Every structure is written in structure tokens, then in C-alpha cells.
Amino acid sequence: MLKREILEKEPESKELSSLYEDISHMLWRSGKLTESLPWAQKAFELAKRLGDSEVLAGSYNDMGTISLDFGEFEKATKYYEQGLKIALENNFLGLALTFYNNLGNVYWYIGEFQKVFETAQKGSDLAKKVGALYSLAWLDAILASSYAYMGETQKAMSMFEDILAFSKRTNFAAYISYATGYLGIGYQFLGEWDKSLKYLKEALDNAEKIGEWQVSGFATYYLGELFMEKEDYVEAEKYLNESSNIYEKAGETASKFTDTLPALSKLYLKKGEIEKATELIEKIDEHAKRTKNKFIIPCAEMLKAMLFRQQKNWEQSIQYFEKSLEGYKSLNAQKWYVYQFAELLYEYGLMHLERNEEGDKEKAYSLLNQAMAIYQKVDAKKKIEKIIAKKKLLTA
């Protein structure tokens, strides 16, 4: 810290504001989010006093990213949008590309799926125009993810293959882990479990070697999801707890509440550990209500519906399934988030199948058929097999 000590004894300078911003970014990359924030704020305040637009924009990016990781989505959106404005006005194209990427991520977390796609497309077009290949890899990954969640899995997989090939050619170590992980997720969607396991474990190994805690977090989460689908609940719980611990250590709540804790809740319901499931679902519900997050609220309502189904409280279960369905429809999830929408239809169908009162078979058949149509469209083989097995119970 010798350089900082020297600069702090001199009159305020742009070099010092830039150093503060570098320290903030370094700490964030190391997974020290809480420590990173004060340095971003110091850089912002000094850059503002000095009229240093470039560091000011960089500080907006740092504060936006930390806010995003803390689950403060409204703050993150404002920081990113203001930073992008400054970057474009001053022709800071590298920073502008960073903001396009990060805005795509924050829009995803608040359920603005169309904005995710449009923002990533703008960023991708700019990256191609200026020849920024590394930024193009990040932005095209967001585009590919959008295609995947829309059910255009093969198109997404092709894009991720290209990104992985580019990352290997250029020895882009960080993105080799990301692209490998995304391919593992794609194969999981397609029901090709062996390939999914291979790619996700490879992504996790690479991420641990280079200290990419974010990749480690999502790779362990999807490994947990994969083992849960395979009904290996011991391995599933191990990986989901590992994912939760990674996010906990970093102080990151966004992925923890949208991915890991909901998956753990479902796992405990499957294992019949109702008290553990209830505790987690209450945490997710409280977080959803406190943040008023349109993306998390319908997820929390689906989890409550599944909990009430487990307790055979049918009326409450129907009430929350309907709320979740309405919430996801308001996000146009049937277009932009088809896997989650199909899962909701499937779980709602199971409720009617389990209750088995007058009219329930017909309702279950209708909901399972709707889920089946989505899974057939996206070629989700294992999901199709599961629904076929459930439908046999309706004709038994």
C-alpha cells in the first residue's frame, strides 16, 4: 500500500481516485464484497470532486456490482444505467461494454427478460463494431443464455461452443470456466446427464484453480440440481450446501436467494425434511417481500404451494400455485423462462394428482400436458420421461 500512502499525502489527484477504484475492484474479484464497497465509495466521491468522468463511471460499475451481489437490485440498476450514460457520453467504449454486460445480469434478476436480451444485443453489436473480442464473449454468453431460457437450447449450445473455442484459443482462463459451465447447464436441460456432469465438474475444477468464486458458486448449484434430478440426494445436498457456503463467504445474496436456497428447499421437501424446508421457504419469502423482487416472489409462492401440498393442505396449495402462475405470466415467463414455467405446471399437476378428488384427474392431465408440450419443444428428454411416468398413473 506504499503507493496509496504516498498519494494520500499529496494533493487530491485523479491517480488516487483511480487507485481507490482499482482496490475496490481487486477486493470484489477476491470475493471480499463488504471490504470492497468503502473503496468504491471513496473512489466515487474523489472522482466526483475532481471531475474525473472515467473513474466516476468505473466507481458506478463497482457500486452497482456490489449492490447486485447484495441483492439490492434497484440500486444496482440505477448505478449501472448512470454509469453507462457517462461512458457513452465520453466515448469510454470499454466501460460501456462492461455496463451492457452487467445491466443484462441485473435485468435478469428483476425479471426484465426482454431487457436482458435487448441490452446484450446492443452490447454485442458494439463489441463487434470496435473489435472487443473479450467483451463479446461475455455479452454473447448473455445472449446465448437468453436463447437457452427461451427454449432454443441447441442455438444456445452452439453459441457456447464458439465462446469456449475462442476462450481456449486466446487462453481466456476466466471465461473457459464460464463457457464450460454453461455447456454443462445446457446438457442438463437436454437430459444428457453424463455430459452435464463432465462439463460442470470441469468448470468447477478450473474455477477453483483460478479463484473464480462466481463460477464455483453456480457450478456447485447446478451440480446439486443435477444430482437431485438423478435422485442422489446425498450428493445433491453436498453440492447445494457448498454453493450456499461460497455465496455466504463472499456476502453474495442474489444467486443464493434465486438459485441455491430454492433448490435446497425442494430437496428437503423431497426428503420429507419438512422443518428444514419450512425454515428456508420462510427465509426466501421474507427476502422476496422485503426486496419486492418480481422474479423471486413467484418462486417463493411456488415453494409455499409445494410445502402445503406436502402437508396435504390442498386449498392453500392451490391458492399459492395460482399466485405463482399469475406472477410468472406477468413476467412473460412462458416465452422467456420456459423451463421454470414448465416446472410450475408440472408441480401444480402433481398436486391435483395427489389430491385425487372430483375433477382432479382432468386438471392434472391438462397441466401435465402443458408442461409436456414445453419439454417436447425444447427436447428435455428426462423431463419428458418423468411426465410420461406420471401420466400413466392417470390412466391406471
Report whether 179 contacts 158 (CB < 8 A): no
Written as nine digits, the cell of 51 is 471531475
Are residues 105 and 49 part of one domain? yes
Q: Which of 3, 45, 40, 47 is nearest to 22 (CA)?
A: 40
Domain annotation covers residue 237: yes
Q: How many domains does the chain have?
A: 3
For residue 109, the model assigns a pLDDT of 86
d(CA 374, CA 176) in angstroms, rounded, equals 31
Q: Of 150, 185, 200, which closes a domain?
A: 150
Are residues 317 and 192 part of one domain? no
pLDDT at 6 over 70: no
Domain annotation covers residue 186: yes
CA distances in angstroms from 381 to 8, 156, 375, 378, listed in the order given: 61, 17, 8, 9
Written as nine digits, the cell of 293 is 423482487
pLDDT confidence band for 9 (50 / 70 / 90): low
Domain that holds residue 108: 14-150
Domain annotation covers residue 160: no
d(CA 300, CA 316) in angstroms, rounded, equals 14
Report whether 90 contacts 57 (CB < 8 A): yes
DSSP annotation string for 110-174? TT-HHHHHHHHHHHHHHHHHHT-HHHHHHHHHHHHHHHHHTT-HHHHHHHHHHHHHHHHHTT-HH
Report the share of the chain in percent with pLDDT over 70.
96
Q: Which of 29, 8, 32 is nearest to 20 (CA)?
A: 8
Are residues 103 and 209 part of one domain? no
pLDDT at 216 over 90: yes
Q: Which amino acid would we find at residue 32? A: K
Are residues 46 and 142 part of one domain? yes
pLDDT confidence band for 374 (50 / 70 / 90): very high
Are residues 104 and 26 part of one domain? yes
* Residue with grid cell 465438474, as numbered in its chain: 201
pLDDT at 8 over 90: no
Task: Give Rg (Cα) of the chain.
Answer: 22
Are residues 55 and 139 part of one domain? yes
**Per-residue pLDDT tens digits for 261-273:** 999 999 999 999 9
d(CA 229, CA 35) in angstroms, rounded, equals 38
Are residues 236 and 136 part of one domain? no
Domain annotation covers residue 262: no
Q: Of 94, 115, 150, which closes a domain?
A: 150
**Sign of the CA dihedral with 370 first, then 182, 271, and 279 last:** negative
Mean pLDDT, residues 174-184: 92
Instruction: Share the mean pLDDT of the chain.
Output: 91
Are residues 179 and 135 part of one domain? no
Report whether 296 contacts 257 (CB < 8 A): yes
Are residues 340 and 241 part of one domain? no
Mean pLDDT, residues 125-141: 91
Domain annotation covers residue 163: no
pLDDT at 5 over 80: no
pLDDT at 10 over 70: no
For residue 247, the model assigns a pLDDT of 92
Are residues 182 and 244 part of one domain? yes
d(CA 88, CA 73) in angstroms, rounded, equals 22
Phi, psi (deg, nearest 5) at residue 131: 75, 30
Domain annotation covers residue 339: yes
Which CATH number is 243's domain given? Answer: 1.25.40.10
Q: Which of 157, 143, 236 is nearest to 189 (CA)?
A: 157
Domain annotation covers residue 3: no
**Sign of the CA dihedral with 266 first, then 340, 369, and 230 last:** negative
pLDDT at 225 over 70: yes
d(CA 348, CA 332) in angstroms, rounded, equals 18
Q: For the chain, what is the total number of helices (H) and then of strands (E)?
A: 22, 0
Domain annotation covers residue 7: no
Written as nine digits, the cell of 224 is 446439486
Give the CA angle between residues 256, 260, 261 to the nearest 5°.
Answer: 85
Please classify residue 51 by burial: count the beta carbons closer than 10 Å to its beta carbon, then call 0-12 exposed, 13-18 middle and 19+ buried.
Answer: exposed
Are residues 146 and 172 part of one domain? no
